[in-house]
Amino acid sequence: MPTIPPYLSEPFVLTDDQIRSFRENGFIKIKNVLPPELLEHLDQTITREVIRLNTQHLPLAERDTYGKAFLQVMNIWKQSEPAKEIVFSRRLAQIAADLMGVSGVRLYHDQALYKEAGGGHTPWHADQYYWPLATDKTVTVWIPLQATPLEMGPLEFSAKSHAMNTGRNLEISDESEAMLGEKLAEAGFEHVVEPFDAGEVSFHSGWLYHRAGANRSGAMRKVMTMIYMDKNMILKNPENSNQLDDWNAWCPGAKVGEVVNTPLNPVLYEKAGLVFSD
């Protein structure tokens, strides 16, 4: 087996059926993306940084629904060179590009989502509500750093719901949990709730509705995520205050109507043998 950092650049071959499933359903779970040695490296590296960088110190009982859902640490790659090696993984970025059918991907940002023992549910939501991005060529990789049984609160998906426009004006909240839960059920979208094996990861599109259950286990549910966007993604005029905040936080200096090409949004993968331009 290659040493760990080079392994992060090793290609991963998707089947036509996997690509077709992702585009139809808006998400896919893929087993054996991370071998045990690599998963252990991710766990040690990311957990060390979450402990160091976490700023949430209120007891669970004193937090709101969002605060109870997880400890959240963002853009860890700017704080740690070992974490940067993980976030810049060509292997994972290549999978994202192939699933979306684009010639290359940029980083939007990374975030660790650590759901504490006893941590609450993550309400139904679609991530792209928060993003001032002009197209739906976005995808998030969700990387559990341990096997994640149902009692730990794995990510849940509403299959094919990226086609539903209802609720796209809702931020993550108790309101989104209630309203979207009802609307998704009425529309007949399949609610997929499954455990994750060690080394299994998922990719979901920006407009796919998803949630996670409470962590009923006695251990931390440790997850790392990266958000990818088409290499040629255009910044749009923000449509809500959250999108304005995201512009300032994750792509400062980008200009409306132009490619989101800032130092915080590097190209992580592009297909060999092609010429790209912004």
Which residues span the domain enclosing 103? Answer: 4-245+255-265
- 223, 71 Cβ separation under 8 angstroms: no
DSSP string, 57-117: -S-GGGS-HHHHH-EEEE-GGGT-HHHHHHHT-HHHHHHHHHHHT-SEEEEEEEEEEEE-T
95 occurs within a structural domain? yes
254 contacts 175 by C-beta, under 8 angstroms: no
For 179, the enclosing helix (H) or strand (E) is: helix 174-187
Report yes or no: 201 and 34 within 8 Å, Cβ to Cβ: yes
Chain center to CA of 78: 17
**Number of domain units in the chain:** 1
Question: What tokens does 212 get?
Answer: 């996670």
Q: Is there a domain that residue 48 lies in?
A: yes
Predicted local confidence at residue 1, as pLDDT: 41
Q: Is the pTM of this model over 0.85?
A: yes
- Give Cα separations from 107 to 43, 77, 90, 262, 271 (angstroms): 21, 11, 11, 10, 16
pLDDT value at residue 277: 38
173: domain CATH number is 2.60.120.620
Q: How far apart are CA 262 and CA 251, in angstroms?
A: 6
Q: Is the confidence at residue 274, as pLDDT, over 80?
A: no
- 3-class SS at 19? helix
Task: Identify the band that residue 61 occupies on the pLDDT scale cut at 50, 70 and 90.
Answer: low
Residue 221 sits at φ, ψ, to 5 deg, of -90, 110
pLDDT value, residue 64: 62
Q: How far is CA 151 from CA 124, 185, 194, 238, in A?
A: 18, 23, 10, 37
Calpha distance 53→74 (Å, rounded): 9
Fill in the amino acid letter for 138.
Answer: T
Asked if residues 231 and 105 have their Cβ atoms less than 8 Å apart, the reply is: yes
Average pLDDT on 37-57 reads 88
276 falls within a domain:
no
Give the containing element (helix H, strand E) for 178: helix 174-187
Name the helix (H) or strand (E) containing 174: helix 174-187
> End-to-end alpha-carbon separation of the chain, Å?
37
**Helix 16-25 and helix 90-100: axis angle, to 10°?**
70
Q: What integer is the mean pLDDT of 213-241?
A: 97
Q: What pLDDT, on a 0 to 100 scale, did the predictor assign at position 71? A: 80
> Quick check: is 75 in a domain?
yes
| pLDDT category of residue 65 using cuts at 50, 70 and 90 | low
Residue 215: closest CA among 154, 267, 161:
154
CB 29 within 8 Å of CB 201: yes
pLDDT tens-digit readout, 69-86? 458 899 999 999 999 999
Query: Which residue has better confidence, 171 or 65?
Result: 171
